[in-house]
Amino acid sequence: MAVTQYSLPPLPYAYDGILTNPHLFASPQALEPAISAQIMQLHHSKHHQTYITNLNAALTSQLHALISNNLPLQLANQQIITFNGGGHINHSLFWENLCAASESKVTDAKQVVAEIEKQWGGIEEFKDRFWENDPITIRLTPLLGVDMWEHAYYLQYLNVKAAYLENIWTVINWKTVEEKFKGGREDVLKFLRASI
């Protein structure tokens, strides 16, 4: 019996900055100066890949643990699967939430902005409160996520996290936020099936 193995989703555009998938984001360089190419390459090819590698190993181990009725191993694997599966999902969504600054237009998310204005009073108020939000739970549908771990900014911003948080707004792909809002949960997580 085989178990599902996940793979790293490729960055959906070329390094020369020419969009190959207008719904997603440009090459790592295209996110500069908000996020350096060095960070993007390490973050995607090393950090995200590690989550996937660990997820796949735990899924394989879990299959054996289930067959052999090894409950302690099942419980240990479940924690690893939750952590690394979450890392895979969060990073996949994060990449889709970014785009070149020239493509980042809040006017592309008219319905989302209308909801933001209803709930927070305005886009600037929303930005101020955004960092207070807890990580999503399984019952909510993620529309916009930003990686706050040090590996997401430290090489470039060092300990000045506030500058990263300010600059990240210049490379948010509002078009994908709006599409996720309109499409619903099945749309948001479809990459999980596509990556199998």
User: Which positions lie near Fe ion, rule CB under 5 A?
Assistant: 147, 149
- Residue 48 assigned as binding residue: no
User: Based on CB atoms, which residue is closest to Fe ion, 7 or 45?
Assistant: 45
Q: How far is the CB of 47 from Fe ion (least distance, A)?
A: 5
User: Based on CB atoms, which residue is closest to Fe ion, 15 or 149?
Assistant: 149
- Residue 16 assigned as binding residue: no
Q: How far is the CB of 67 from Fe ion (least distance, A)?
A: 33
| Residue in 115, 107, 122 with CA at minimum distance from that of residue 175 | 107
User: Based on CB atoms, which residue is closest to Fe ion, 114 or 148?
Assistant: 148
CA 113, CA 176: separation in Å to the nearest integer? 13
CA 29, CA 16: separation in Å to the nearest integer? 8
Q: How far is the CB of 74 from Fe ion (least distance, A)?
A: 27
- Residue 88 assigned as binding residue: no
What residue number has its CB nearest to Fe ion?
147
Q: How far is the CB of 127 from Fe ion (least distance, A)?
A: 20
Task: Give yes or no for a contact between 24 and 173, defined as CB atoms under 8 angstroms apart.
Answer: yes
Task: Give yes or no for a contact between 145 and 98, defined as CB atoms under 8 angstroms apart.
Answer: no
- Residue 64 assigned as binding residue: no
Beta carbons within 8 Å of 112's beta carbon, 6+ residues apart: 143, 174, 177, 178, 181
User: Based on CB atoms, which residue is closest to Fe ion, 99 or 113?
Assistant: 99
Residue 39 — left, alpha, or beta (φ > 0 → left; ψ -120 to 50 → alpha)? alpha
CA 22, CA 13: separation in Å to the nearest integer? 9
List the binding residues.
43, 91, 147, 151
List the binding residues for Mn(2+).
43, 91, 147, 151
